[in-house]
Every structure is written in C-alpha cells, then in structure tokens.
Structure 1
Amino acid sequence: MMTCTLDLYTDYLVSSTGPTTATGLSRLLDGALSHDHITRWLRSTSLGSPALWRQAKPLIRQAEARRQAEEFAVLIVDDSILEKAHTDANELICTHWDHSQQRFVKGLNFVTLLYQAGELALPIAAELVAKTIPVYNVKTQQTSYQSAFTKNEYVQQMLRVAQQQVGYRYLLADSWYASAENMNLVRALGHHFLFALESSRTVALSAQARAAGQFQAVQTLAFPDKQPLRVYLRSVPEAVLVTRQVFTNKDGSQGTLYLVGSDTNLTYCQLTTIYQRRWKVEEYHKSLKQNASMGQSPTKTPATQTTHFFAALLAYTKLEVLKLRHGLGHFRLKAQLYAVGLKAMYQQLAQLTA
C-alpha cells in the first residue's frame, strides 16, 4: 500500500507551479493516496533543523573534499517573512516586524543559517518564530503574544550546533544581527564575522579613547579613499575594521553601506568582496518562495504549516543538487519542468479536440 513520504512530498513541491494541496497531490497520484492520508502525514510528521542537516551533510562533505586550498566557506544568517495576509492567525501566522520594510507584516517569520561555498548554498538550520508567550498591556488592556526567544538568540543556538558540523571562515549578516553578543560568540567559536553596521553605531578610534568613553557615530568618521579604519566597539574586546561603501541604486540615487569585520588583515576590496557573498541568502529566499512552493500551501495549523515549511527547505536542497548536476539555476530548472508540463497539456488538448 502506498504511503506519503518526505521524498514524495518534496518532489511534489518542486514539480508544482500552483497551489500545493493534499487534494492536488492525491489527484497527481491518481488517487493512490487519499487527501486525508496526506493531511495526516503533514500533521504527524516532525521536521526541523536535524532533517536539513541530514540532507545537506553529504553535499557539504563532497564540496569540502573538492575545495581548493585558497577557497573557504562562509555561513550567512538572515530572516524573512512569508506574507500570509488571508490565513487564519495562530502562533506562527501572526504579526511580525519586517526590518527590511520597516513595517509590521502578517505571515510566517523564519531565521535561516545558510552554508555557502563555491556554487553551493544550503540551509543547515532554520527556526520558525512562534509567538506563544502572552504579554498583557495595562494601558490598552489587551493581550499580545511574543516569542520565547529573540531572533538573535535563535542564531546563537544555531551557531553553537553548527560548530560541530561545518568549518567556515566568516559569518555574514546584515545590521540586525550585528550585536556585540553575536560578535563575541563568533570570535569565541574561533571564526570571524563580517556584518553590515548601522550608521549611528558608535566606535572609538583607539583602545585609550574607548577606556575614556570617547565614541563617535560611524557616519561621522573620515574614511581614507577605499581604506578601512581600525576601531573599537563598546563591548567587543578586540579591534575591528569598519569601512564605508558608496553605491548607486537602480533609480540612480546613491546609497551608503557600512561594514564591520573582525579580521583586521583584510583590505577594503576583500571586505566588500566577501560581504557580497551574503547576496546568496537573498537568492535562497526568492527560490524558496517561487521554486520550492513555500507559499503555495493552504495548511491551517501550526503542525501542518511547520511540516510544509521544512519540506519546502528540503525541496530547495533538491533544486540545489539538480543545479550542481546539470549546471542550471533554480529558475531555469523550474522553467524546463513547466515547459514539459505545458507541452503534455497541449498534446492532451490536441487529442481531446481531434
């Protein structure tokens, strides 16, 4: 008797170009699995970061064995929100602050630790932000909910686990994760960090200035032309490098990015080049949502939503395997699958109208 499996469900997520429902999978299999069976599987299957690591480990070990001496891996941390404005609210589907949009958004908030080396970019850990702790507001006389952990605490937990799993040189992240606690943890684990930095963050120009409490905002520093400055942060013992990168946006306006790194041997060019690898996490988020059917499921309960979420991450890993095997990006692979399906529909239509 046929049963639903993770392999089957993730293949469905990769193949689908529309809503991914239990009924849809049942129809795809010509009723060999009932939609009730699939729903029960979604409800009873427990998935999490260990499943991500099991699937990523052999790929990472292969990449490590082939890596040239001058190459190195990085870990990238970031969060994203899968907007779900019309799904019933629960501990996962709720209002979250989207720091990239500077507004509150209703949806599924998740944090990922992404391993990146060469052409390989794989999630090795992820956490869903569940708001389960009630907080009563005396002024409004209303109860809201918050997560038991902050996103920075989730990251710290993931980094401690990753320490036993992978070797990497740098942790890359945007300014949301540039806390002294995260910096000190990365250094204590024996790695370097390279983060974006808020322009208002204050630094001291020497150890003596720090001891005397003489700090100034990064945006007020005079940077030599394409040269990093060696400075000190308030709660990070070691000296760090900060640099300013000026770039032109698509609309022609100019933007400024400040970077802070613990590896004081890097040049401006090395700092900016390494940080560019953080863009892989943006590509990962985009592919998850558009190629791995992350947002296509109408699941309604935290249990089924969690299973679908982690299955989508594992579907992304399948796409990454196909990318390496065939030399095609995720979007091109998906386009080829869609073309095959469209051709089959066209031929079926021709037979029906003949």
Structure 2
Amino acid sequence: MNKDLFDLYTDYLICSTEQTTATQLSRMLDGDISHDQVTRFLSSQTFSSKDLWKLVRPTLRQIESDEGVLIFDDTIIEKQWTDENEIICYHFDHSKGRTVKGINLLNLLYHHNGISLPLSFQVIEKPVSYCDLKTKQIKRKSLVTKNEMLKQMFLQMLSSSVKFKYVLFDSWFSSKETFDLIRKKQRHFIGALKRNRLIALSAKDKRDGRFHQVSDLALKDGESVHGWLKGYSHEVLICRQVFTNKDGSTGSLDIVCSDLSLDGDDIARIYQKRWNIEVYHKSLKSNACISKSPTRTVRTQSNHLFLSICSVLKLEQLKLHHKMNHFALKAKIYLKSLKAAYSEIANLKRGTA
C-alpha cells in the first residue's frame, strides 16, 4: 500500500462534503498528485480486512478489555443510478421494508469504554444470476450467507487474540449455528429475536414439545425469563425492552442472552451497546463519503469502501485524543473551510474594487 496516497485519500474523504473524485483530489493539492496517480492507487490492488486489521491493531491493543463486545451488523449504501454488477445490485433493506439497489456491507465493530473500532468488513457479492420462476425476473444471489461470513469473522477475532466477552447482533444473525459456535468458544451472545421464534419455559415443556411464540410472553419492560428456544438445546434468558416510537406508538424488542448470570437490566445495558454500530454506519455515510464516489469497477468501488472505513477509523483515533465525536470533528473541519471560503470571497471583492 502506498502510505502517502492512503493518507491523502482518507484525509480527503474526511474533508469533503460532496462527490469525491480523483480530479478534485488532484486540484485540492494543486496538481502535486495527479488524477492518474489516484486512479492507479484505487485500481492497483484489492484492499481487504487484513489491511484494516494491520491499521487498527495498535489502537485496539491500547483499549481492549475482557469486558469488550463484538458487534455485527450490515448496512446498505444506496447506488440507484450506478450500473449493476456483482456488488452493486438489489438487496432487501430491513430498515425500510423494501428492496433497494446498492452495496451491502457487513461490518464488525469492537466496542469498549466509549471507543468503537472497525475490525473487519465484508462486501456482499452476488455473482450468480438466476431467473425467479415466480416473478420471471433475473435476480442475483451470493455464494456465502451473511451468517457464514459472521462466523468466519468471529473465528478470525479469536485467532487474533482479541479480548471480548459478548457478541451482539440483531435478529438476522440469531441462528442456532451462530449460537452454538459462540458458546463452543466460551463466549456469550446477546441478540434480538423475531417475534415468531418459539420458546419453552421449562425443561419439561421442551421435552413435551410445548412451545410458545416469544411475542406471547407476558413480560414487562426489563423483565427476563429462563427458557429453551426451539431447535437450540441450551437454556437461555429472554428479556423484553419496551420503547416509544417516533409516532408515539409503543414497540417492544425481545432479546436472547446465553449468560444466565445476568438479569434483565444487565442484558438491556449490554445490548444497548449494539447501537454504536448504527452510529458507525451513520458516520460512514455522513463523515467519510462512503456513498459519494463515482468509481465504476468492482475493485475501485470496493477499495473506496475500504478507504471510507479507514477514514472513520482515523476519526475515532482523533476522538481518543481530542475528546470530540465524529460529527463534532467534522463540524470543526467544515467551519475552517467556511472561514477559508469567506476569506477567498473577500480577496476576490478586493480585486474588483
């Protein structure tokens, strides 16, 4: 990796507030770095999680703890007007309840004591085209599921001796296979459950096949109950969180936890840390221009994603030293650029006087 170009490009992403291009970066540097140099940097090799790990490891070793958590979640970077390929295609967006065109990115975030570090990522590729017999439309599919990717990332963190106790995720990743792997490696999971998951409230009910939908449990906010999920052999805790939606309606979230020593308040407190990956995704889109690149090939598109992730890592490292969050740092940078622009206007006016 060309370290100078890496630093220039990632700093440029942090500074920029609009579409990012190799031409604009070259202009910002008064041509000291050419458009072609930037283009070659983006297309010369494919960056991966291994490259991210080398960059994040020194900071991780400073802040990690046995009480740290791994957080898994995916996000979609919409690319409505970009040509379709194996990474820019259609994905179901659970937050919007509909299919959108874009890049689906699976992320792994480490969180401890207010610090969040990206440790790994995987772009969801859908190289296989097929005809949906029901709709008669051509669709794409991946060769590897996101749950399988999660398991690979999890095992990589263990082999890299990352310190953590809990693994947090939403209902998409709450599968028996994921539960089994995490417990086999002596870690605990805390994850959301879909409302139709079935649970037995005693070992006898489990043996007799008496299961109830999780949503039918008479649980109050913060209350937990022991039980056995259908298809999973070990006892778990189920905790309910009740919240108020933006429209004033009341909603609830049922959470499964493998650590039987916790109570409902503990489960809710630890699971609340999962929100940090939502903040991370927002920072990628708002502060690191992850969706604002006109790159056209799979390699350059993937490399831009990697460099946006590295830009957010830089912001987190700055946060450690300056005690300012990403958005405050970006606002400070933007204010400086406004002052420079205002000064330039004043100079132009003087030139016409």
- The equivalent of 2:288 in structure 1 is 292
Unaligned 5+ runs, structure 1:
none
Equivalent-residue separation in structure 2 for 1:140 and 1:103 (angstroms): 16
What pairs up with 1:1-354 in 2 under 5 angstroms? 5-64=5-64, 72-138=67-133, 142-165=137-160, 166-223=162-219, 226-354=222-350
Equivalent-residue separation in structure 2 for 1:297 and 1:156 (angstroms): 30
Check 1:244–1:61 CA distance in 2 against 1; reply closer, same or farther (3 A cut).
same
Residue 296 of structure 1 aligns to a residue whose secondary structure is: coil
How many Å apart are 1:249 and its aligned residue? 1.8
Residue 328 of structure 1 aligns to a residue whose secondary structure is: coil
Residue 163 of structure 1 aligns to a residue whose secondary structure is: helix
What per-residue deviation string (whole Å, max 9, x for no partner) do you get for residues 248-303 of structure 1?
A: 12322111111110001111110111111000001000000000111111111111
How many Å apart are 1:72 and its aligned residue? 1.3
Check 1:95–1:226 CA distance in 2 against 1; reply closer, same or farther (3 A cut).
closer
Equivalent-residue separation in structure 2 for 1:201 and 1:194 (angstroms): 15
Check 1:224–1:144 CA distance in 2 against 1; reply closer, same or farther (3 A cut).
closer
Paired AA for residue 38 in structure 1: V
What root-mean-square deviation, in Å, do the aligned CA atoms of Structure 1 and Structure 2 show?
A: 1.7
Answer whether contact 1:3 1:33 (CA < 8 A) is retained. no
How many Å apart are 1:245 and its aligned residue? 1.6
How many Å apart are 1:224 and its aligned residue? 6.4
Paired AA for residue 235 in structure 1: G
Check 1:225–1:37 CA distance in 2 against 1; reply closer, same or farther (3 A cut).
closer
Answer whether contact 2:221 2:242 (CA < 8 A) is retained. no
What per-residue deviation string (whole Å, max 9, x for no partner) do you get for residues 176-199 of structure 1?
A: 111111111111121000011111
Number of residues of Structure 1 aligned to a counterpart in Structure 2: 348
Answer whether contact 2:191 2:257 (CA < 8 A) is retained. yes
Answer whether contact 1:4 1:38 (CA < 8 A) is retained. no
How many Å apart are 1:139 and its aligned residue? 5.6
Residues 261-270 or 138-147, more deviating: 138-147
Answer whether contact 1:120 1:320 (CA < 8 A) is retained. yes
How many Å apart are 1:213 and its aligned residue? 1.6
Residues 193-202 or 139-148, more deviating: 139-148
Paired AA for residue 122 in structure 2: E
Equivalent-residue separation in structure 2 for 1:3 and 1:52 (angstroms): 13
How many Å apart are 1:222 and its aligned residue? 2.6
Percent identity over the alignment? 45
Answer whether contact 1:4 1:33 (CA < 8 A) is retained. no
Check 1:288–1:220 CA distance in 2 against 1; reply closer, same or farther (3 A cut).
same
TM-score under structure 1 length normalisation? 0.94
How many Å apart are 1:142 and its aligned residue? 4.9
What per-residue deviation string (whole Å, max 9, x for no partner) do you get for residues 181-237 of structure 1?
A: 111111112100001111111011122222222111011123367431100012322
Check 1:332–1:229 CA distance in 2 against 1; reply closer, same or farther (3 A cut).
same
Paired AA for residue 63 in structure 1: I
What per-residue deviation string (whole Å, max 9, x for no partner) do you get for residues 111-165 of structure 1?
A: 0011000121011010001110122345665542211111111111111111122
Residue 113 of structure 1 aligns to a residue whose secondary structure is: strand
Paired AA for residue 306 in structure 1: S
Equivalent-residue separation in structure 2 for 1:44 and 1:211 (angstroms): 59
Check 1:168–1:199 CA distance in 2 against 1; reply closer, same or farther (3 A cut).
same
Unaligned 5+ runs, structure 2:
none
Equivalent-residue separation in structure 2 for 1:3 and 1:221 (angstroms): 55
What per-residue deviation string (whole Å, max 9, x for no partner) do you get for residues 288-347 of structure 1?
A: 000011111111111100000000000000000001100001011001111111111111
